[in-house]
Amino acid sequence: MRIEDQPYRTIKFSREGRILTASINRPDAMNAVNGELHEELSRLFRDMADDSDSDVLVLTGEGKAFCAGGDLVWLQAAIDDPAVFLNTASEAKRILFGQLDLEKPLICRLNGAAAGLGASIALFCDVIIASSNASIGDPHVSVGFVAGDGGAIIWPQLVGYARAKEYLLTGKMAKAEEAERIGLINKVVAPDALDAEVYGLARELAAGATKAIRWTKVVTNLPLKAIAHTIFDTGLAYENLSNLTADHQEGLNAFRERRKPVFTGR
Protein backbone atom coordinates (compact mmCIF):
# COMPACT_ATOMS: atom_id res chain seq x y z
CA MET A 1 0.00 0.00 0.00
CA ARG A 2 1.24 3.50 -0.82
CA ILE A 3 1.57 5.85 2.12
CA GLU A 4 -0.45 8.50 0.31
CA ASP A 5 -3.47 6.27 0.86
CA GLN A 6 -3.15 6.81 4.62
CA PRO A 7 -4.68 9.85 6.39
CA TYR A 8 -2.00 12.42 7.26
CA ARG A 9 -2.54 16.12 7.90
CA THR A 10 0.76 17.24 9.48
CA ILE A 11 3.16 15.23 7.31
CA LYS A 12 3.39 15.43 3.54
CA PHE A 13 5.07 13.14 1.06
CA SER A 14 6.93 13.31 -2.23
CA ARG A 15 8.72 10.77 -4.42
CA GLU A 16 11.63 10.40 -6.75
CA GLY A 17 11.68 6.88 -8.16
CA ARG A 18 11.99 4.48 -5.24
CA ILE A 19 12.93 7.30 -2.84
CA LEU A 20 10.14 8.50 -0.54
CA THR A 21 10.45 11.80 1.35
CA ALA A 22 8.34 12.59 4.40
CA SER A 23 8.24 16.25 5.48
CA ILE A 24 6.96 17.37 8.87
CA ASN A 25 4.49 20.03 7.82
CA ARG A 26 3.76 22.59 10.56
CA PRO A 27 6.13 25.30 9.30
CA ASP A 28 4.28 28.18 10.98
CA ALA A 29 4.97 26.46 14.33
CA MET A 30 8.58 25.50 13.49
CA ASN A 31 7.23 21.96 13.01
CA ALA A 32 6.68 21.65 16.76
CA VAL A 33 4.93 18.48 17.88
CA ASN A 34 1.31 18.80 18.95
CA GLY A 35 -1.14 16.00 19.68
CA GLU A 36 -2.06 15.50 16.04
CA LEU A 37 1.53 15.35 14.81
CA HIS A 38 2.54 13.05 17.68
CA GLU A 39 -0.18 10.59 16.70
CA GLU A 40 0.83 10.74 13.05
CA LEU A 41 4.51 10.21 13.92
CA SER A 42 3.46 7.14 15.91
CA ARG A 43 2.32 5.42 12.71
CA LEU A 44 4.61 7.12 10.17
CA PHE A 45 7.52 4.69 10.31
CA ARG A 46 5.37 1.57 10.11
CA ASP A 47 3.47 3.06 7.20
CA MET A 48 6.78 3.90 5.51
CA ALA A 49 7.90 0.33 6.09
CA ASP A 50 4.72 -0.94 4.42
CA ASP A 51 4.88 1.52 1.53
CA SER A 52 5.07 -0.63 -1.59
CA ASP A 53 6.76 1.88 -3.88
CA SER A 54 9.86 2.86 -1.87
CA ASP A 55 13.19 1.38 -0.86
CA VAL A 56 14.93 4.47 0.57
CA LEU A 57 13.41 7.08 2.88
CA VAL A 58 14.21 10.72 3.64
CA LEU A 59 12.84 12.60 6.64
CA THR A 60 12.87 16.41 6.78
CA GLY A 61 10.90 19.45 7.87
CA GLU A 62 9.04 22.10 5.91
CA GLY A 63 10.22 25.69 6.21
CA LYS A 64 13.13 26.82 8.37
CA ALA A 65 13.08 24.12 11.06
CA PHE A 66 13.33 20.35 11.15
CA CYS A 67 11.28 20.00 14.34
CA ALA A 68 11.29 22.34 17.33
CA GLY A 69 10.18 19.72 19.88
CA GLY A 70 6.98 19.88 21.88
CA ASP A 71 4.37 22.50 21.07
CA LEU A 72 3.84 24.83 24.07
CA VAL A 73 0.06 24.66 23.90
CA TRP A 74 0.19 20.86 23.88
CA LEU A 75 2.69 20.75 26.76
CA GLN A 76 0.56 23.13 28.81
CA ALA A 77 -2.50 21.00 28.16
CA ALA A 78 -0.59 18.02 29.58
CA ILE A 79 0.14 19.97 32.77
CA ASP A 80 -3.48 21.06 33.10
CA ASP A 81 -4.69 17.50 32.53
CA PRO A 82 -1.91 14.91 33.11
CA ALA A 83 -3.99 12.28 31.34
CA VAL A 84 -3.16 14.09 28.08
CA PHE A 85 0.49 13.17 28.53
CA LEU A 86 -0.15 9.70 29.94
CA ASN A 87 -2.22 8.80 26.91
CA THR A 88 0.71 9.56 24.59
CA ALA A 89 3.07 7.00 26.16
CA SER A 90 2.06 4.24 23.76
CA GLU A 91 2.46 6.65 20.85
CA ALA A 92 5.95 7.57 22.08
CA LYS A 93 6.94 3.91 22.06
CA ARG A 94 5.60 3.44 18.56
CA ILE A 95 7.62 6.43 17.34
CA LEU A 96 10.92 5.17 18.74
CA PHE A 97 10.51 1.49 17.98
CA GLY A 98 8.92 2.29 14.65
CA GLN A 99 12.22 3.88 13.67
CA LEU A 100 14.34 1.09 15.13
CA ASP A 101 12.25 -1.65 13.49
CA LEU A 102 12.23 0.08 10.09
CA GLU A 103 14.34 -1.98 7.68
CA LYS A 104 14.53 0.57 4.88
CA PRO A 105 17.42 3.05 5.18
CA LEU A 106 16.25 6.39 6.58
CA ILE A 107 18.21 9.58 5.88
CA CYS A 108 17.62 12.69 7.95
CA ARG A 109 17.71 15.87 5.87
CA LEU A 110 18.40 18.23 8.77
CA ASN A 111 17.31 21.50 7.22
CA GLY A 112 17.11 23.56 10.43
CA ALA A 113 16.71 23.36 14.19
CA ALA A 114 15.94 19.99 15.78
CA ALA A 115 15.12 20.15 19.49
CA GLY A 116 13.81 17.71 22.09
CA LEU A 117 11.72 15.02 20.45
CA GLY A 118 12.71 16.53 17.10
CA ALA A 119 16.37 15.88 17.92
CA SER A 120 15.63 12.31 19.00
CA ILE A 121 13.75 11.57 15.79
CA ALA A 122 16.62 13.02 13.76
CA LEU A 123 19.27 11.05 15.64
CA PHE A 124 17.44 7.73 15.35
CA CYS A 125 17.69 8.06 11.56
CA ASP A 126 20.47 6.03 9.94
CA VAL A 127 22.40 8.93 8.42
CA ILE A 128 22.03 12.60 9.36
CA ILE A 129 23.09 15.21 6.80
CA ALA A 130 22.69 18.80 7.97
CA SER A 131 22.60 22.26 6.52
CA SER A 132 25.26 24.51 8.02
CA ASN A 133 22.50 26.72 9.45
CA ALA A 134 20.95 23.79 11.36
CA SER A 135 21.28 23.13 15.08
CA ILE A 136 20.41 20.21 17.31
CA GLY A 137 19.91 19.67 21.02
CA ASP A 138 17.69 18.21 23.71
CA PRO A 139 16.57 21.10 25.94
CA HIS A 140 14.06 19.10 28.01
CA VAL A 141 15.73 20.15 31.27
CA SER A 142 15.51 23.79 30.20
CA VAL A 143 11.76 23.56 30.73
CA GLY A 144 11.98 21.35 33.81
CA PHE A 145 11.29 18.16 31.89
CA VAL A 146 13.07 14.78 31.79
CA ALA A 147 14.66 13.80 28.47
CA GLY A 148 12.74 10.54 28.51
CA ASP A 149 11.47 10.28 24.93
CA GLY A 150 14.70 9.01 23.38
CA GLY A 151 17.48 11.50 24.07
CA ALA A 152 18.91 9.60 27.05
CA ILE A 153 19.10 6.50 24.83
CA ILE A 154 20.63 7.78 21.62
CA TRP A 155 23.00 10.57 22.67
CA PRO A 156 25.36 8.34 24.71
CA GLN A 157 25.54 5.82 21.88
CA LEU A 158 26.64 8.50 19.42
CA VAL A 159 28.96 10.73 21.46
CA GLY A 160 29.71 8.82 24.67
CA TYR A 161 28.26 9.26 28.13
CA ALA A 162 30.35 12.20 29.32
CA ARG A 163 29.58 14.41 26.34
CA ALA A 164 25.97 13.22 26.18
CA LYS A 165 25.41 14.21 29.80
CA GLU A 166 27.02 17.59 29.15
CA TYR A 167 24.33 18.31 26.57
CA LEU A 168 21.39 16.52 28.19
CA LEU A 169 21.93 18.00 31.68
CA THR A 170 22.36 21.56 30.39
CA GLY A 171 19.87 21.41 27.52
CA LYS A 172 22.21 23.36 25.27
CA MET A 173 21.93 23.28 21.50
CA ALA A 174 24.83 22.38 19.22
CA LYS A 175 25.39 24.13 15.92
CA ALA A 176 25.69 21.80 12.95
CA GLU A 177 29.47 22.08 12.69
CA GLU A 178 29.89 21.21 16.38
CA ALA A 179 27.46 18.32 16.06
CA GLU A 180 29.51 16.94 13.19
CA ARG A 181 32.78 17.43 15.10
CA ILE A 182 31.63 15.39 18.10
CA GLY A 183 30.15 12.63 15.94
CA LEU A 184 26.50 13.36 16.63
CA ILE A 185 25.66 13.73 12.93
CA ASN A 186 27.35 12.54 9.75
CA LYS A 187 27.94 15.57 7.57
CA VAL A 188 27.38 19.33 7.27
CA VAL A 189 27.02 21.08 3.93
CA ALA A 190 26.05 24.53 2.71
CA PRO A 191 22.28 25.08 2.57
CA ASP A 192 22.26 25.13 -1.22
CA ALA A 193 24.13 21.81 -1.32
CA LEU A 194 21.85 19.97 1.09
CA ASP A 195 19.56 18.36 -1.46
CA ALA A 196 22.44 17.26 -3.68
CA GLU A 197 24.14 15.56 -0.73
CA VAL A 198 21.00 13.95 0.70
CA TYR A 199 19.55 12.72 -2.56
CA GLY A 200 22.94 11.72 -3.92
CA LEU A 201 23.22 9.29 -1.02
CA ALA A 202 19.59 8.25 -1.39
CA ARG A 203 20.10 7.41 -5.07
CA GLU A 204 23.24 5.44 -4.23
CA LEU A 205 21.32 3.38 -1.69
CA ALA A 206 18.36 2.94 -4.05
CA ALA A 207 20.73 1.50 -6.66
CA GLY A 208 22.29 -0.89 -4.14
CA ALA A 209 21.45 -4.44 -3.11
CA THR A 210 18.16 -3.77 -1.34
CA LYS A 211 17.98 -6.88 0.82
CA ALA A 212 21.64 -6.72 1.83
CA ILE A 213 21.28 -3.05 2.82
CA ARG A 214 18.09 -3.64 4.81
CA TRP A 215 19.36 -6.68 6.65
CA THR A 216 22.68 -5.02 7.45
CA LYS A 217 20.68 -2.23 9.07
CA VAL A 218 18.62 -4.79 11.01
CA VAL A 219 21.75 -6.41 12.45
CA THR A 220 23.39 -3.06 13.24
CA ASN A 221 20.29 -1.88 15.11
CA LEU A 222 20.02 -4.95 17.36
CA PRO A 223 22.20 -3.63 20.22
CA LEU A 224 20.47 -0.24 20.09
CA LYS A 225 17.05 -1.91 20.22
CA ALA A 226 18.16 -3.93 23.25
CA ILE A 227 19.22 -0.75 25.05
CA ALA A 228 15.97 0.98 24.13
CA HIS A 229 13.86 -1.93 25.37
CA THR A 230 15.79 -1.88 28.64
CA ILE A 231 15.37 1.79 29.56
CA PHE A 232 12.68 3.48 27.46
CA ASP A 233 9.76 2.68 29.78
CA THR A 234 11.72 4.08 32.71
CA GLY A 235 12.48 7.23 30.75
CA LEU A 236 8.81 7.74 29.96
CA ALA A 237 7.89 7.18 33.60
CA TYR A 238 10.32 9.83 34.82
CA GLU A 239 9.17 12.20 32.09
CA ASN A 240 5.61 11.70 33.31
CA LEU A 241 6.70 12.48 36.88
CA SER A 242 8.46 15.66 35.79
CA ASN A 243 5.25 16.74 34.04
CA LEU A 244 3.75 17.13 37.54
CA THR A 245 6.47 19.40 38.94
CA ALA A 246 6.31 23.14 39.61
CA ASP A 247 9.65 23.52 37.82
CA HIS A 248 8.13 22.23 34.58
CA GLN A 249 5.34 24.82 34.78
CA GLU A 250 7.94 27.51 35.49
CA GLY A 251 10.01 26.33 32.54
CA LEU A 252 7.06 26.68 30.17
CA ASN A 253 6.13 30.06 31.66
CA ALA A 254 9.67 31.34 31.20
CA PHE A 255 9.90 30.07 27.64
CA ARG A 256 6.57 31.66 26.78
CA GLU A 257 7.62 34.96 28.40
CA ARG A 258 11.11 34.85 26.86
CA ARG A 259 12.93 35.04 30.20
CA LYS A 260 15.29 32.87 32.23
CA PRO A 261 13.41 30.37 34.41
CA VAL A 262 13.67 30.50 38.18
CA PHE A 263 13.64 26.88 39.28
CA THR A 264 12.97 25.88 42.90
CA GLY A 265 13.48 22.12 42.79
CA ARG A 266 9.79 21.45 43.32
pLDDT mean across residues, the chain: 97
From its phi and psi, is residue 113 left (phi > 0), alpha (psi between -120 and 50) or beta? beta
Is there a domain that residue 23 lies in? Answer: yes
Can you give the CATH number for the domain in which 106 is found?
3.90.226.10
Q: What's the predicted TM-score (pTM) here?
A: 0.96
Q: pLDDT, tens digit, for every residue of 147-192?
A: 999 999 999 999 999 999 999 999 999 999 999 999 999 999 999 9
| Residue 62 C-alpha from the chain's centroid | 14
At residue 43 the predicted structure's pLDDT band, cuts being 50, 70 and 90, is very high
Total structural domains within the chain: 1
Supply the pLDDT for residue 87. 79
Structural domain containing residue 64:
3-192+206-210
Q: Is residue 220 part of a domain?
A: no
In which region does residue 133 sit, left (phi positive, over 0), alpha (psi from -120 to 50) or beta (all else)? alpha
pLDDT at residue 47 is higher than 90: yes
As a whole number, mean pLDDT of residues 222-230 equals: 98
Q: Order of strands, edge to edge, in the sheet holding 11-16?
A: 11-16, 19-24, 56-61, 106-110, 127-131, 187-189
The per-residue pLDDT for 227 is 98
pLDDT above 90: residue 103: yes
For residue 13, the number of C-alpha atoms closer than 13 Å in the C-beta half-sphere is 22
Query: Does residue 262 belong to any structural domain of this protein?
Result: no
Q: What is 34-83 written as a DSSP string?
A: -HHHHHHHHHHHHHHHH-TT-SEEEEEESTT-SB-SB-HHHHHHHHHSTH
> Would you say residue 184 lies in a domain?
yes
Among 1-5, 181-185, 253-257, the range scoring the smallest mean pLDDT is 1-5
